[in-house]
Amino acid sequence: MTAKRQPKKKTRDKLLDVAEKMFAEHGFDAVSVRDITDGASVRLASVNYHFETKYKLFLAVVARRATVLNQDRKSALDKISFADLTPEDGVRAIAHAFIDPMYQRSTQGDEGWKSYCRLIAQQAALRHSPNITAEFFNPFALELIAQLKKILPGLEDRQAHYAFQYMIGATIYLFTENERLDSLSRGKYSAHDLDTLCDDLVKFVTGGVMGLISS
């Protein structure tokens, strides 16, 4: 066996790539299996052969990059030496650990990463059904909440959980990159300027968490 075989990766991965992009752009229900197979220039039956059902293809798309993103976040969180930081700077470091991996992958990873970030952002805002984000991302979330409580003893358990919800909301809304900011500012600013948006988002989240304990 000389490393991996090349040929057997083609169709399956093309399906994952195209599905990722289309689901992110239009949502699960608005995309048909035909849309995906046509976009990938493969036959209709290949989806059922490789993934059994359309929904399991969707799950495979979500799972594919979830591990990587979680590792990014986990290692960013583990790198923080809280002993050297003020509480506020600790919160800032936590905000970075949550936001930066998504930002880095979205802007500097391959094009699929941008779609993926859009996809999980949209998924997180859904009420149910294919809302599988929890299983993939809860473990890291719990660590983050625990660290928040540790460096901010004045923060109640309930507020630490709430803080994380506000953080999710503010963050994922950015990564949908919808056109609201563009239309509001008549093109002066753009939802695609993730660099400055994420910079200020860290400030916003940090100030927000600190604002929870001051009163």
Partner DNA sequence: GTCTATAGCTTGATAGAC
Partner DNA sequence: GTCTATCAAGCTATAGAC
Size of the site for DNA (CB under 7 A): 21
Phi, psi dihedral angles at 98 (to 5 degrees): -80, -45
d(CA 169, CA 86): 25
| Binding status of residue 157 toward DNA by CB under 7 A | no
Phi, psi dihedral angles at 111 (to 5 degrees): -60, -30
What's the CA angle centered on 56, arms 51 and 58, to 5 degrees? 110
Site residues for DNA, 22-41, by CB under 7 A, read 31-35
Q: Quick one: angle between helices 33-40 and 10-26, nearest 10?
A: 130
Q: How far apart are the first and last CA of the chain?
A: 64
Nearest distance in Å: CB 192, a second copy: 12
List of residues contacting a second copy (CB under 8 A): 24-27, 29-30, 118, 121-122, 124-129, 131, 133-134, 138, 141-142, 145, 157-159, 161-174, 176-181, 183-185, 188-189, 191, 196-197, 200-201, 203-212, 214-215
Tokens of 189: 């600013």
Site string for DNA, 42-81 (x = CB under 7 A): xxxxxxxxx-xxxx--------------------------
Residues at the interface with DNA (CB under 7 A):
8, 10-11, 31-35, 42-50, 52-55
